[in-house]
Amino acid sequence: MRIAKLVAYNFRGIRSLTWEPGSQAMSCIIGPGDSAKTTVLDAIEATLSPRWITFSEADFHLGNSLNAIQIEVTIAELSKTLLSDQRFGLYIRGLADDGSVHDEPEAHHDPALTIRLTVDATMEPVWELICDRYPAPRVLSNRDRSLFGVVRLAGEEARHLTWGQGSVLARMTGDTEGAANQLADAYRVAKQTANLSSIPSLVDTAVRAEELAKQLGAYVNHGFGPDLELGRGGFSSGSIALHDGSIPLRMSGLGTRRLTTLAIQRASIKEGAIVLVDEIEQGLEPHRILGAVSALRSAQDQAKSSSAPTGQLLITTHSEIVLSELKSDSLFIMRRSVEGDASISSVPYDAFSRILKHAPRALFARRILVCEGATELGLMLGLRELFRTRHLDVPVEHLGVAIVDGNGAAAPALATALASLGYAIALFRDSDQPLKTSTSNLLQTHDVQVFEYGSLLCTELALFGACWPDMEDKLISAAIASLGEATIYAQLRPAFPGSDVTAPTACWVPAAPGADANWVRLANLAIQFKWFKSEERGRAISAVVDQIVQLGQPTPLSLCIRGLEKWAYGQ
């Protein structure tokens, strides 16, 4: 099964959303926090999973239950059972190659089903199959919905690590023969002997669970087996829990727990499950994230090559490590307007590779400041700490701003690529090399705000041009701090003959008429000897820069920096 289209109205933070995930087996939704990514998974789960879900006012957009919740999910790659005319074969619709859904399928269409969940002010959820060809929609029972094969891996689901009622392990045990009977037998035997390792069906299931969990990278210490874990509520089939050695699996690490649950959930669905995973990286070290994602992907590739149903994996993530394992067509960026109108858009290939190479982190922000070079980056990283003192101690990151390295000449293209994905972008660059007209036009059409000093000024010139002599001293001491006293003085002496370069610059011999002013010569030295040309050195002068800007003269530098501050705080 595979979700081909999702349309949601008035569900939690989403007033409206339409998404077509495409036909690839894995889709990853990213986006800034609070962009309702989890709500998308919740919407799919609420519509397709067999669980009865209790709704309350809080589940309606803005808590207004007058506007009914309506979620429509169209699924393709239907299992044989779904296609049967005893089930929904006569309710199928057609999914065209372009992703459009037609009520009556034509010969070249892929069979699909549209399921609609509606909840109105009565809070009574109704699941129906939409098919305009019948006068009344077909209402779906929870047994019907279990055929859609949806598995949700969310937070703490300890019940899936036991053989309790409705648990995946119980289902897996029944895979082979007579589900309920086996479990009832197990329960009886367990009660008498408490020797669960003598029940082959449970042991087999546990061994299989172990194998599956290992495939996804769960750590297994002693080997899985069934054992009793008596808790409150007395003895029930739920007391038979999966153990690693003698330790209940629910006591193991979050990552292992999640991977094990995911593995056994996937295995419980024969024909192409739809797996929903919220923040797949939870509880996992970077290398295990990589392992888990690539295991999931290769399982799908394997299914594909053996022409078995691949199913679909829908994940959300906040980890750039996950991104590195993805192909561009698997990545979707979610946005949501203040009014709650959400959109999920795919990422074009070239933009994706560019961003992934230079600034994968930026994809998780709302607004991105692309800094052209190391100096700008360092400067901004330093400045942002000083900005917060003037803004109620709110760091720019809290406002969803990410500051990323544009890697010099690549910066404008990166800014354009990010802007094309719908992010608010600013580009901070020095002006020694003017932008090509074509580039600046491109930036303009993408609404990229460019901050520069103007008049062909590079950072050093802009900096020294804005300085009073005492500030020049501070810049020189910053240079000394990073490059060493001897080096800097050796560089200064030839340029300022007759001056005691160890003294404050105010005491230096002023430049002769016709020659470059002292500050110009200082700037040129700074350029020549790369005083500030690294992230670290840029960061070191940020305090001085801030001071210069705060002193208030309207210089190109202060105009530029003030502009950046305003942009960062969204003023």
Instruction: Point out which residues bind another protein (CB under 8 A).
Output: 80-86, 89-92, 94, 104-107, 109, 111, 133
d(C-alpha 75, C-alpha 323), whole Å: 25
Residue with smaller CB distance to another protein, 109 or 537: 109
Strands (E), 439-491: 449-451
Q: Is the dihedral of CA 426, 427, 431, 433 positive or negative?
A: negative
Residue with smaller CB distance to another protein, 84 or 444: 84
d(C-alpha 446, C-alpha 440), whole Å: 10
Question: Apex CA 253: angle with CA 248 and CA 259, to 5°?
Answer: 90
Question: Apex CA 176: angle with CA 307 and CA 249, to 5°?
Answer: 95
Q: How far is the CB of 134 from another protein (least distance, A)?
A: 8
Q: How far is the CB of 133 from another protein (least distance, A)?
A: 6
Tokens of 343: 């959109």
d(C-alpha 152, C-alpha 42), whole Å: 9
Residue with smaller CB distance to another protein, 135 or 233: 135
Residue with smaller CB distance to another protein, 105 or 465: 105
Q: How far is the CB of 78 from another protein (least distance, A)?
A: 8
Q: How far is the CB of 92 from another protein (least distance, A)?
A: 7
Residues 219/260, Cβ–Cβ less than 8 Å: no
Q: How far is the CB of 277 from another protein (least distance, A)?
A: 29
In degrees rounded to 5, what are phi and psi of residue 128? -135, 160
Residue with smaller CB distance to another protein, 93 or 288: 93
Residues 289/318, Cβ–Cβ less than 8 Å: no
Kind of pairing between the strands at 93-95 and 110-119: antiparallel
Residue with smaller CB distance to another protein, 85 or 393: 85
> DSSP readout, 171-182?
HHHHTTS-HHHH
Q: How far is the CB of 235 from another protein (least distance, A)?
A: 34
Residue with smaller CB distance to another protein, 92 or 418: 92
Q: How far is the CB of 274 from another protein (least distance, A)?
A: 19
Q: How far is the CB of 141 from another protein (least distance, A)?
A: 15
Kind of pairing between the strands at 101-102 and 126-130: unpaired
Kind of pairing between the strands at 150-153 and 274-277: parallel
Reference 548, options 472, 488, 476; nearest CA is 472
Residue with smaller CB distance to another protein, 132 or 500: 132
